[in-house]
Amino acid sequence: MTSNETASYDLTILVPVYNEEDNMAALSSRLAAYLPRAKMSSCVLFINDGSTDRSGERIREACAGHEGFFYIELSCNTGLSSALKAGMDQVRSPYLAYIDADLQTAPEELDLLTPYLGDYELVTGVRARRKDTGFKKIQSRIANGFRRMMIKDGARDTGCPLKVMRADMARALPFFKGMHRFFPALIQLEGGRVKQIDVSHFPRVAGVSKFNLRNRLISPFVDCLAVRWMQKRHIAYKVKADNLRHD
């Protein structure tokens, strides 16, 4: 596996970006202030998911001005799950984190999650006192309830964009559009352990949400059926012994 500069860090923070030019200055400042005092040696990897505004320009400016800032740029918009997959494939640090570019969660609160990485393969935030509209909250409540009933992952808030996990296990997960909502179930499918921690949530102050009724409510219902199928058909094995030579 080819190495890159993220191998010099313990944690790589993935930040998918799609048309967030108005948020980039505040986001870059917050991340730059956080990195020197983070509990784990950390860097940032922006994934420009085919933005059509000036987000790409803002990302390159941020990376030129801050140590530990890196980016990849996708040729076209692929969606959040694909952007995360692209980032995960590049990470060479032992652990990775994920945070949205909208600053509705705080990068500093990754420090609430990382202390548990020794005992859990995934540590995920749960948005306490959400600052979304009532309609969004109702949609999320319905989707979360349906997901828990269908796949029994025990996750309270899979939509929270503040997560840390082992990079090798993240790369081993089955990926599909919408899979970012099912990290707990997929980690559990691979035998991993999940920890949930309450984190803060803030109103969006710039840009617009990329989610709507279809991709917040309807698509997750369909995706639940796919995950339930995977749970029932999953193959798991452990090698007891071998005489192969290992590097």
The per-residue pLDDT for 134 is 60
Residue 204: pLDDT over 60:
yes
Q: Report pLDDT digits (tens) over 17-26.
A: 999 999 999 9
Residue 214: pLDDT over 60:
no
Q: Report pLDDT digits (tens) over 16-65.
A: 999 999 999 999 999 999 999 999 999 999 999 999 999 999 999 999 99
Phi, psi of 99 (to 5 degrees): -145, 140
Q: Report pLDDT digits (tens) over 128-186.
A: 876 555 656 666 666 666 666 667 676 788 788 899 999 999 998 888 777 788 888 88
Candidates 177, 184, 172, 191; CA nearest to 88 is 172
What average pLDDT does this structure show over 105-112?
96
More confident residue, 231 or 9: 9
CA distance 10 to 96: 8
Phi, psi of 42 (to 5 degrees): -130, 150
More confident residue, 6 or 177: 6
Q: What is the CA radius of gyration of the chain?
A: 18
- In this prediction, what percent of the chain has a pLDDT beyond 70? 82
**SS3 string of the chain?**
CCCCHHHHCCEEEEEEECCCCCCHHHHHHHHHHHHHHCCCCEEEEEEECCCCCCHHHHHHHHHHHCCCEEEEECCCCCCHHHHHHHHHHHCCCCEEEEECCCCCCCHHHHHHHHHHCCCCCEEEEEECCCCCCHHHHHHHHHHHHHHHHHHCCCCCCCCCCEEEEEHHHHHHCCCCCCHHHHHHHHHHHCCCCEEEEEECCCCCCCCCCCCCHHHHHHHHHHHHHHHHHHHHHCCCCCCCCCCCCCC
Mean residue pLDDT of the chain comes to: 86
More confident residue, 217 or 189: 189
CATH of 5-232, picked from 3.90.550.10, 3.40.50.1370, 3.30.70.100, 3.40.50.720, is 3.90.550.10
Residue 246: pLDDT over 70:
no
**What residues does each domain of the chain span?**
5-232
More confident residue, 217 or 9: 9
CA distance 157 to 141: 9
The per-residue pLDDT for 223 is 76
What average pLDDT does this structure show over 205-234?
66
The per-residue pLDDT for 106 is 94
